[in-house]
Amino acid sequence: MTIDQKTVAKIANLARLKIPVDEQIAVGGELNKILDWVAQLNEVDVAGVEPLANPNDAHLRLRADVITDGGKPADILANAPSKTADFFTVPKVIE
């Protein structure tokens, strides 16, 4: 299949693109190159070739869901502007 200037104008109209008449011939040539490349792909023998793996088939390695305090409460509270015992102290928001 070859794409001529008339076909390029129709495609441009359908895609709501403004392609000047003098550029339509160049665009047609580029589209023909793309179609030739696709035709080359159709010539490849893929008999017996397994399809690529689907990323949805992958299973993530899961870690154990264990609750920890991080083991560094003193280091964490060292950054707090104010603290009481082992807790952050925040100003009262609701009166």
**Please, are residues 59 and 40 in contact by the beta-carbon 8 Å criterion?**
no
Indicate whether 36 belongs to any domain.
Answer: yes
Indicate whether 35 belongs to any domain.
Answer: yes
The radius of gyration of the chain's CA atoms, rounded to the nearest angstrom, is 32
**Please, are residues 72 and 80 in contact by the beta-carbon 8 Å criterion?**
no
* Confidence at residue 69, expressed as pLDDT on a 0 to 100 scale: 66
pLDDT digits (tens, 9 = 90+) for 15-63: 999 999 999 999 999 999 999 999 999 899 988 888 777 777 777 788 8
**Beta strand ranges found along the chain (DSSP E):** 83-84, 87-88
Residue 34 domain boundaries? 5-42
Indicate whether 51 belongs to any domain.
Answer: no
Is the pTM for the entire model greater than 0.75?
A: no
pLDDT digits (tens, 9 = 90+) for 60-80: 788 888 887 677 888 888 888
User: What is the distance between the alpha carbons of residues 24 and 29, in angstroms, rounded to a whole number?
Assistant: 9
What domain count does the chain have? 1
Residue 10 is part of a domain; what is its CATH number?
1.10.20
* Confidence at residue 93, expressed as pLDDT on a 0 to 100 scale: 86
